Amino acid sequence: MLSARLVWAQDIGLVLNELVDFPEVKVPTRRFSNPDEIGREDIEAAAAECRSLWGLGSGPIPDVALAVENAGVVLVREETGVSQIEGLSAWSEELGRPFVYLAADKDNGFRSRFDAAHELGHLCLHRGIERPTERERHNELERQAHQFAGAFLLPAESFTADVRLPVTLDSLLLMKQRWGVSVAAMIMRLEALGIIDSEEKTSLFKRRSSRWGSKSEPGDDSRKPERPRLLSRTIELVASSGVLPLEHIASHFGLSARDIEKLVGLPANYLDGAADVFELARLKPPRSGALDASEAGIAAKILPFAKRQ
């Protein structure tokens, strides 16, 4: 079901791509054909290249969703009703553009940032690797995407400089607010960087579970999930400019108005009214030949990665 909705999001992108210039794709990819070829150094280098290419510096990233969309990734975030799945990602061969689909069910801003970075890891590292059927191979791809997310959100040098020794849960709670990353994710990153060993990691996780339980942490409600902007503001742009009247949008895309609103992040019943415009994409210059209804239904090949649980 979620893969199908990702395809619908791509269909929306295909139509809008005829009308606007989306941000240029700036997602560095590695052409690995096997996860065994990917080492820790490769993962760290890919994460550092993303930060450098996007001009993010070495500190905390204020808005991961905005950074991803500015790099040309189409981001979708909606409630799914499927609690086991937190994200999907794919490269659209038709558009030459990556798509990321995030589940909004848990409404945790810290987790959502990590999920977005995790899917970015798949896009950067695993584009040339076929979807695995063996559980062990699937788990290895997930582990590598987790490592990428840690390296992307918590760069080695700057993050290490913030760490107080000995590491405590209270000190990590303070860092959680600064870096926008959960205590659990920081513990994993500390072990990956060699700041703590496996025994210290296990001890911290046991204390974390004893104090807070395993599913939540203090301060989880202090950061709202970051919202995608690109698709919603693009539809606002084409509607307000008269290129595609609001009342014709649903029929033009061949989807229900409610599905479009959910997929692109518009308010409920928006397509029955109007709203202010905030421009991210730019309208394409006029060209001969209007987009007809047949173009709106173009099918596209999409290659989803394995579901993450």
Domain locations in the chain as residue ranges: 2-154
Query: pLDDT per residue over 251-291, tens digit each?
Result: 899 999 999 999 999 999 999 864 444 445 666 765 544 43
Q: At what angle do helices 40-54 and 109-125 cross, to 10 degrees?
A: 110
Tell whether the model's pLDDT for residue 241 goes beyond 80: yes
φ/ψ bin of 266: left (φ > 0), alpha (ψ from -120 to 50), beta (otherwise): beta
The span from the CA of 217 to the CA of 21, in Å, is 41
Nearest 5°: the CA angle 38, 40, 41 is 95
Tell whether the model's pLDDT for residue 81 goes beyond 90: no
User: What CATH architecture is 2-154?
Assistant: Orthogonal Bundle (1.10)
Among the residue ranges 22-31, 77-86, 277-286, the one predicted with the least confidence is 277-286
The span from the CA of 186 to the CA of 179, in Å, is 9
